[in-house]
Amino acid sequence: VLPACLLLALLLLAPALPAQQERGLIFNLDVGELCVQSAQCKSGCCHRANGLSLARCAPKAAETQECSPKSIYGVYYKCPCESGLTCDADKTIVGSITNRNFGVCKDPQESSRR
């Protein structure tokens, strides 16, 4: 009986699954929408202002803005840099644990020109 119920549930939910992704209920979320992981956001950054705030999708950091190095945690206090920029930050384990591993987005091409 259980497999028949499971099959029926899958058949009923199948049309709804593609619609959820198009509308951005779980993945492909727009800036400002609630998130749990950066992989859910179109921008690639799930950001929270502090430890008690809800995380929301946010744009990646632009040149000269504060940033965090890419992390395995999936939620950032400062978003990683936009494509082509590097985050000049404390990348030690201590900086990561104490949440002080913020830096500034820089263009790596600019430093090689000097």
- Is 3 exposed, middle or buried, given 0-12, 13-18 or 19+ CB atoms closer than 10 A? exposed
The CATH homologous superfamily to which domain 25-113 belongs is Lipase, subunit A (2.10.80.10)
Instruction: Say yes or no to pLDDT of 70 above 70.
Output: yes
- Which tops the pLDDT comparison, 41 or 22? 41
What are the sequence ranges of the domains in the chain? Answer: 25-113
Instruction: Say yes or no to pLDDT of 53 above 60.
Output: yes
- Across 74-90, average pLDDT: 92
Helix (H, G, I), strand (E, B) or coil at 97: helix
Q: How many CB atoms lie within 10 A of CB 106?
A: 16
pLDDT at 22: 55
H or E element in which residue 3 lies: helix 2-13
List the one residue out of 107, 84, 102, 80 whose CA is nearest residue 92: 102
pLDDT at 99: 62
pLDDT tens digits, one per residue of 94-105: 655 556 679 999
pLDDT at 114: 54
